[in-house]
Amino acid sequence: MGDNGPYGNLSSASAVDHSNQLVIMPCYELSYNNAAGYPNWVQWSVEKEDIGNAPRVNDFHTDSTLPDGIYRVKPSDYDNSGYDRGHNCDCRDRTATPEEEHYTFDMINMTPQAKRMNEQTWKGLEEWTRKQVEAGYLAEVVCGVCGGEIGRIAGGRIGVPAKMWKVVALCQEGKLVQVVCVIMPNSEEIEEDWRHYQVDLEEVESATGYTFPDWAK
């Protein structure tokens, strides 16, 4: 498993800011937003050794690492909401062992996603990324939310983001080869092909307010 914080601390997240809480998990790093009930951003690396044959564990579970004062989202908070428990760090990027995959089902790694977006468009980019990794590239991945919220679920405890973004940097032999960026609407009306939502990295920076490291440009 490579560096799980390749983009650095994009939002200057800290251990004491509940709206921008830095959390370092064994398989990814993130900035968590207690008021929103989901991450501001999540980042990780994917290499061939991370992709194996472990079956889907499907063990969505409440996080146990967040400090006191932060609401711990439960899997049942999404029940009857109309939204999927959408992975940020994809479980299939961590199938070397069931133990590694288990961490991706922590609710700290979930964002409410429209079913069509999660199961078709977002999934399409995830699958494309793994194909590049299987072809020999290292993928440095970061994703998050932007565009405000379009609603709340779980009695108002969890927001529903209007859009989600992702940056995938493909590297080989320590050199940047390609950067793919998207901003997608969190909607059932979304187009199936993720390429329809490709943007420049500068557009992601403008939408998020984050400044990406020079190596990704």
DSSP one-letter string for 106-117: BGGGEEEE-HHI
Q: 48, 7, 35, 33: which is closest to 137 by C-alpha? A: 48
- The type of residue at 50 is D
What are the beta bridge partners of residue 26? none
State the pairing for strand pair 29-33/110-113: unpaired
Catalytic sites, residue numbers: 87
Q: How far apart are CA 90 and CA 124, in angstroms?
A: 12
